[in-house]
Structure 1
Amino acid sequence: MKPETPMVDVRAVDVGYFSTKLTLARNLEGNASTIASMKPETPVVVDVRAVDIGYFSTKLTLGRKLVGNASTIATALFPSLAPRLPASMSMQTALHGKPDGSVVDVDDVNYFVGRDAILYSSGREPREVLADYSMTDKYHALMRGAFHYIAQDAKATSELVIRHLVMGLPLNTFGENRDRLAARATGEHLLPDPSNPGSMRRITVEKASVIVQPQGALVSYGTTHREIFKEGWVLVVDPGGGTLDWYVARGRLPNWQRSGAYPKSMLACAYAVADRIDPTWRDNFEIIERIDKAIRDKAPSFMTAGNTYELAPYTSAIEAVLKESTDKMVARLGSLDNLDLILFTGGGAKVYFDFFKSRNPKLTNIMFMDDDPVFSNVKGFHVAGEIMSKSRTI
């Protein structure tokens, strides 16, 4: 006599990107109707995060952390490099050895972004100042690189939900690209899980807002210097890598007519030096960064290929860029005599502070350096997001 073959009535399988669910339905020989299901992990949810993508570096916030007795906005940054990976290189191959960063897909092209991006670079990564920079695939890749670090910090292994993301744009592209950038950031983004090769993580941005970059610095500075929001005109000068932005406000209300941006700033200063030594250096991001650092640090020289180059012979070229950009700012501002406070922020804050002071000594008493010029904008984006989300007030 043959043994009876066990029979089942129904089975169901759901194969997804992150997990495979199946039902263990009722066995005809059993007395109970027990159904078991393999459920995906619960998504990690964070309220507000901010990202500031520049030409030299990408800054991001990691939420509020308790430092001593104070609630502090934690930050991180990585270089704004996004080298394209060869079509023949798989994600698993690119992530072998666990480099610091992530492979991201933008329109079916893989890029490596993160602190170890230089390991994947060809050595020639030109940094052009583009009016539509925020709409480029590189910018999109850097944004997803920021999501990688946000997910990593939140310990989100399969899914992260960002309730509200805040980003910033220069004033000269804000009106045209604000809504387009917000739309591009909103929704789902798939990133590889570095701790589980072959698996993907889903990052969902429920809401994205975009504000002008120097407004972030004003908000951030105002959290510890509340007097800035009293009656009076405030000018925020924000020299970044690609643009010099300036933002005029009375209290918390902006004056858009006097605010603006000019597409020459610290990157143009470094290019001015490179053009006089070796124009091909423009496409070598490492040499440009060495020149930029020397300018920002007021170092007497920089080194490359074992050679030392003094900066003194190129001071006039650097100052020509500073004069051109600040002249454009002053022309847009009109009179400077009714200003009550001038705040310098951004990566080139000290360079522009010193230059502007030398040309406008009578304004020295109202000129101030930001407490944290590199991260001030992105911290301000975060605070603005908290205010918009009504999670806290300043």
Structure 2
Amino acid sequence: MKTAVFAIDVGYGNTKYAHRAASGTVATGMFPSLAPLAATHSLSGFGEGVLASRKVVTIKINGINYEVGPDVSLSAAYGKTGRALADDYVMTDNYAALLFGAIHFAGVTQIDRLVLGLPVHNMKKYSAALKERFIGAHDFGAGRVVVERVVVIPQPLGSLVFAASTRGDSFNRDDAHLVIDVGYFTTDWVYANGFAMDDTRSGGMPGGASQIYQRIARLISVDEDDNVTEIELIDKALREHKPFLLYGKDVDLSPYLEKASPIVTDVVKEMQNSVGHLRNVRSIILSGGGAGLYASVIRHAFPRIVIEVIDSPCTANARGFLLVGERLASERRVA
């Protein structure tokens, strides 16, 4: 299938993608950003219907097979889940496997314009390399795809564009907004007047949701006298408002989440130092999978500013990337 614009937000926590379906509606998908080495054998297809097949695909990168998809395992022996938490994440084989996995699950084989995002603090460092890496023809083991162009934008701008699209004529281009994207590994913020980004008041830093999960895991380890490493399962339990299962015991995560709040406070203080006073902004737009974990601290830090938690915060960037790509394609046709 050919598509004019395909948008992928390969986050540290989840991989999200968006494209325009044949009906004209926006199709989206999401799966965990885990790319463990593929098993050399599988039993899930056997068992006369007793063992269900998982929705995963094997992606080959540089001769190595990785398993990605919605049903990838959230836990593994000795914590080797295939999660990559590193500043050079976009240059890893894990990132490439997740990107091609998104393309596979969407059923796309030709892309006129691939739109990707980067954390604000990595734009200068990796933007050109990211474009060069994914433009052209690729065979990733589960199929072949041709990418004509690659566009890379700061991740929070995706949320701003998506938020603006939901407001229609009520979005005033003369208004200033602070967009905060709380990701799995990083927290990024963009100060924008309309769609014009103010570089001096925009930034980002490591300190997303995963640091909270890691802190909770360490606190549980102390209380339970064990080395708890299953941060993916802690993430899942918090998102689903359920206890964390440990040796058959349900562990209430609420007290541990409260004890981890200083991590959020440190990140928000760094952000305050960057943006300064916000007397002239219309609102703070809060996005990203970790938005719920940061919301209360951000409200306390900016008590007089309207805080808007964006609808579907996990996929907001991908949907915004799609709109950016479509706008660029439209401008090119007019030119």
Global fold match (TM > 0.5): yes
Separation in 1 of the partners of 2:84 and 2:259? 19
What residue in structure 1 maps to residue 316 of structure 2? 376
What residue in structure 2 maps to residue 39 of structure 1? none
What residue in structure 1 maps to residue 260 of structure 2? 318
How many matched pairs? 320
Separation in 1 of the partners of 2:255 and 2:315? 32
What residue in structure 2 maps to residue 124 of structure 1? 79
Q: Within the alignment, does 1:170 sit opposite 2:119 as a pair?
A: yes
8 Å CA contact 1:296–1:351 kept in 2: the answer is: no
**Superposition pairs for residues 192-341 of structure 1, below 5 Å?**
192-193=141-142, 201-226=143-168, 227-278=170-221, 280-282=227-229, 284=230, 288-296=231-239, 299=241, 301-341=243-283
**1:245-268 C-alpha deviation (Å, 9 max, x unpaired):** 111100111001111111011110
What residue in structure 1 maps to residue 56 of structure 2? 101
Distance 1:96 1:296, change over 3 A: closer
- Give the unaligned 5+ runs of structure 2: 46-52
Separation in 2 of the partners of 1:130 and 1:248? 25
**1:348-388 C-alpha deviation (Å, 9 max, x unpaired):** 2222222211343222xx21110221111000001111011
Code of the residue aligned with 2:294 in structure 1: it is Y
**1:7-51 C-alpha deviation (Å, 9 max, x unpaired):** xxxxxxxxxxxxxxxxxxxxxxxxxxxxxxxxxxxxx32111111
Q: Offset at 1:192?
A: 4.1
Alignment RMSD (CA, Å): 2.5
Distance 1:115 1:311, change over 3 A: closer
What residue in structure 1 maps to residue 49 of structure 2? none
Distance 1:306 1:343, change over 3 A: same
Distance 1:95 1:144, change over 3 A: farther
For CA contacts below 8 A with separation 6 or more, give which structure has more relative contact order: 2
Separation in 1 of the partners of 2:76 and 2:233? 17
8 Å CA contact 1:296–1:348 kept in 2: the answer is: no
Code of the residue aligned with 1:376 in structure 2: it is A
8 Å CA contact 1:95–1:102 kept in 2: the answer is: no
Structure-1-length-normalised TM-score: 0.75
Q: Offset at 1:95?
A: 10
Q: Per the alignment, in what secondary structure is the counterpart of residue 123 of structure 2?
A: helix
% identity of equivalent residues:
32
Structure-2-length-normalised TM-score: 0.87
Q: Offset at 1:110?
A: 1.0
When Rg is computed on C-alpha atoms for both structures, the one with the higher figure is: 1
Separation in 2 of the partners of 1:353 and 1:129? 23
Distance 1:95 1:212, change over 3 A: farther
Q: Within the alignment, does 1:115 sit opposite 2:70 as a pair?
A: yes
Q: Per the alignment, in what secondary structure is the counterpart of residue 206 of structure 1?
A: strand
What residue in structure 2 maps to residue 84 of structure 1? 37
Separation in 2 of the partners of 1:294 and 1:228? 36
Separation in 2 of the partners of 1:292 and 1:229? 36
Q: Within the alignment, does 1:51 sit opposite 2:8 as a pair?
A: yes
**1:226-256 C-alpha deviation (Å, 9 max, x unpaired):** 4334312100111011111111100111001
Q: Per the alignment, in what secondary structure is the counterpart of residue 163 of structure 1?
A: strand
Separation in 1 of the partners of 2:186 and 2:43? 34
